[in-house]
Amino acid sequence: MSERAERPLQDPMAPLERAFIEQYLRQQGHTLDSILLLATEERRVLMVKAGREAAVRLAEVDARSAYVHEIHGAKEG
C-alpha cells in the first residue's frame, strides 16, 4: 500500500491576501518585518487596516471573477 503525504488544506486566496497586505504596508512605509519594531497597539491598528484593505481587494477580485464567469456562461448558452 502506498503512502500519500498529508498536507493541510490551504485557502487558495491566501497568497493573494498576503500580497495585498504587504502592498498596503509598503504604501504606509512598512514591511511585515518592520512592523515588528512598532509598539503593540500601533502594529495591531496597522494590521487591522491592512486586513480590511485586503478583504476589500479580495472581494473585488471575487466579484470580477463571478462577472467574467457570468459573461462566458451567457455566451455559451
Digitized pLDDT (tens) for each residue of the chain, 77 residues in all: 556 667 777 888 999 999 999 999 999 999 999 999 999 999 999 999 999 999 999 999 999 988 888 888 865 54
Parse the chain into domains and list their residue ranges.
14-76
What global pTM score does this model have?
0.77
Supply the pLDDT for residue 74: 63
pLDDT of residue 77: 47
What b/e readout covers 26-54, taking b as 16+ CB neighbours within 10 angstroms?
eeeebeeeebeeeeeeeeeebbeebeebb
